């Protein structure tokens, strides 16, 4: 008979089936996860706090409901943990920082409320780059979050704990937030599937922002199917979020087999230099995509650099607007890396910010009609280099922060500016055994198609976590 500990590496649907037939209880599953999380925490620093008592109480409630025949759906009893930028009533949200004084939350983020309604169990808030700012997982306040495959290497960020906790099998999935790659980077570096949805597809109510014009909330998980289940639970209009879009929410998990039928694939030609190992893995993935969907043509995206720059302007200005008073009153509470990346936003000319925001709609239209005019899904690597060591990507080193950020986000930030849905999936491993990833870029509200293609390509290349 399978044990709860063995089940921690299974897909969500398989775990759900065993919970329903009482192979093990949700409490047993939670105890196994807590034991693993507590053992791994001094090594990986994935959590801000492991809330064991709360998790067990939630698990027992799931078991009580199950005994009465009350199943909330495919996520009933499934263990999650989420980036500590989501407010939860009664819990102090840190946002990975010491800037704010601890204060129990008075509200709960809509995304967390929806997960709770789906029957999930929360193991606690996850570590992250301070103030949702950084692509590495480095955090001088709560300890650097480490990669689940090799703790000497970075986890990716800023949803660093999300990538590490899921990659290490501590939880089955997680919600992160993405401003310039903060879901996709940790997903890629930990061998996961990570989805930045269409801007406005998932509510950001009571989710601490980096840049309100760019931020998206989305799932990280070990398969496209698991991502689909999580997205189903949290997507949809929310009156508490003015940027939330009132569009129907498909049953993503039921559309995985057919949503990718008949699509056209293209490869984005970029000016970015790819490491040889990244290029080799990407070429194999493109070959698999071409075999399944027809030859992938190459398309130009001349505006990649401009979208990157305009996204950076928006991010800096909107972050500085939020942090301006704190930076003046308590600058000593910021790390050097976060302060130095945020403070310049106070000095960007207003005309540059207005230009970046007002150009967005026309740039998007040009992209959809030009670069994406004859394609349904575009491909490009997620990160152009192999996962660096924590020493190589130390953002606290003098003068290093801007170079590290630019190198790691060169291929992710442009699509945040465009507000398009982007899913990263694994393409293979480099010579150090570290995962590499590819981005699948879709049209607005094209998440179902991206999830379908990712599931099919994972099978084609034989990816196994």
Q: Which strand (E) or helix (H) includes residue 122?
A: strand 121-126
Q: Are the CB atoms for 342 and 133 separated by under 8 Å?
A: yes
The domain that contains 183 carries what CATH number?
Answer: 3.90.1300.10
Residue 68 lies in a domain: yes
Owning domain of residue 455? 265-461
Annotated catalytic residue within 25, 83, 116, 148: 83
Domain boundary among 254, 275, 299: 254
158 a catalytic residue: yes
- Concatenating the DSSP letter of every residue in 187-254 gives HHHTT-EEEE--TTSB--TTB--S-TTT-EEEEEESSHHHHHHHHHHHBS--TT-TT--------GGG
User: Considering the domain boundaries, does residue 260 fall inside one?
Assistant: no
Catalytic residue among 160, 177, 182, 452: 182
User: CA-to-CA distance for 103 and 204, rounded, in angstroms?
Assistant: 20
Domain co-membership, 369 together with 238: no
Residue at 20 is within a domain: yes
Question: Do 235 and 274 have their domain in common?
Answer: no
Q: Residues 263, 453: contact at Cβ < 8 Å? A: yes
Strands (E) located in 270-344: 297-300
Which two structure tokens, joined as six digits, stand for 19? 């919970």
332 & 204 share domain:
no
CA-based R_g, the chain, Å: 21
One domain, residues 218 and 293: no
On whether both 274 and 135 belong to a single domain, the answer is: no
Pair 205, 279 in one domain: no
| Of 254, 275, 295, the domain-final residue | 254
Tell me: do 199 and 298 sit in the same domain: no
Please tell me whether residues 198 and 343 are part of one structural domain: no
Which residues lie closer than 8 Å to 221 by C-beta, 6 or more apart? Answer: 12, 166, 172, 173, 174, 192, 193, 194, 227, 230
Q: How far apart are CA 28 and CA 16, in angstroms?
A: 13
149: which residues sit within 8 A by CB, 6+ positions away? 167, 190, 191, 433, 434, 435
pTM of the model as a whole? 0.97
Together in a domain, 226 and 276: no
Catalytic residue among 155, 158, 213, 452: 158
The answer to whether residue 159 sits within a structural domain is: yes
Q: Can you give the pLDDT of all 465 residues of the chain as single tens digits? A: 569 999 999 999 999 999 999 999 999 999 999 999 999 999 999 999 999 999 999 999 999 999 999 999 999 999 999 999 999 999 999 999 999 999 999 999 999 999 999 999 999 999 999 999 999 999 999 999 999 999 999 999 999 999 999 999 999 999 999 999 999 999 999 999 999 999 999 999 999 999 999 999 999 999 999 999 999 999 999 999 999 999 999 999 999 999 999 999 999 999 899 999 999 999 999 999 999 999 999 999 999 999 999 999 999 999 999 999 999 999 999 999 999 999 999 999 999 999 999 999 999 999 999 999 999 999 999 999 999 999 999 998 766 888 999 999 999 999 999 999 999 999 999 999 999 999 999 999 999 999 999 999 999 999 976
- The tally of domains found in the chain comes to 2
Phi/psi of residue 199, nearest 5 degrees: -55, 125
- State the Cα torsion 369-371-377-382 to the nearest 10°: -140
Residue 81 in contact with residue 174, Cβ under 8 Å? yes
């Amino acid at each position: 008979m399978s044990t709860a500990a063995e089940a921690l590496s299974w897909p969500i649907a398989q775990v759900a089936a065993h919970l329903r037939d009482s192979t093990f209880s949700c409490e047993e599953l939670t105890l196994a996860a807590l034991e693993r999380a507590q053992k791994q925490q001094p090594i990986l620093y994935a959590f801000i706090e492991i809330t064991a008592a709360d998790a067990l109480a939630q698990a027992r409630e799931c078991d009580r409901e199950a005994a009465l025949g009350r199943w909330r759906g495919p996520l009933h009893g499934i263990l999650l943990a989420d980036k500590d930028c989501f407010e939860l009533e009664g819990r102090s949200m840190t946002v990975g920082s010491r800037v704010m004084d601890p204060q129990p939350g008075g509200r709960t983020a809509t995304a967390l409320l929806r997960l709770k309604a789906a029957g999930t169990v929360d193991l606690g808030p996850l570590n992250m780059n301070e103030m949702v700012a950084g692509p590495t997982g480095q955090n001088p306040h709560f300890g650097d979050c480490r990669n689940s495959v090799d703790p000497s290497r970075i986890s990716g960020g800023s949803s660093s704990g999300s990538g590490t906790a899921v990659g290490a099998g501590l939880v089955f999935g997680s919600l992160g937030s993405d401003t310039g790659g903060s879901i996709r980077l940790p997903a890629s570096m930990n061998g996961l599937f990570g989805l930045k949805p269409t801007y406005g597809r998932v509510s950001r109510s009571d989710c601490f922002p980096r840049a309100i014009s760019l931020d998206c909330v989305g799932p990280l998980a070990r398969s496209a199917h698991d991502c689909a289940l999580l997205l189903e639970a949290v997507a949809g209009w929310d009156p508490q979020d003015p940027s939330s879009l009132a569009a129907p929410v498909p049953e993503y998990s039921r559309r995985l087999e057919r949503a990718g039928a008949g699509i056209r694939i293209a490869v984005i030609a970029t000016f970015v230099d790819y490491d040889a190992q990244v290029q080799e893995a990407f070429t194999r993935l493109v070959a698999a995509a071409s075999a399944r969907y027809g030859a992938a043509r190459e398309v130009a995206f001349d505006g990649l650099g401009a979208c990157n720059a305009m996204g950076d302007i928006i991010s800096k200005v909107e972050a500085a607007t939020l942090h301006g008073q704190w930076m003046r009153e308590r600058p000593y509470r910021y790390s050097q890396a976060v302060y130095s990346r945020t403070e310049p936003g106070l000095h960007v000319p207003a005309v540059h910010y207005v230009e970046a925001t007002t150009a967005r709609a026309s740039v998007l239209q040009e992209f959809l009609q030009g670069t994406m005019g004859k394609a349904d899904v575009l491909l490009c690597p997620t990160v152009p280099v192999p996962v660096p060591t924590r020493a190589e990507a130390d953002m606290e080193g003098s003068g290093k922060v801007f170079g590290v950020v630019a190198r790691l986000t060169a291929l992710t930030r442009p699509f945040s500016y465009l507000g398009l849905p982007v899913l990263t999936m694994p393409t293979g491993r480099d010579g150090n055994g570290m995962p590499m990833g590819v981005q699948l870029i879709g049209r607005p509200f094209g998440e179902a198609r991206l999830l379908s293609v990712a599931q099919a390509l994972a099978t084609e290349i034989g990816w196994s976590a």
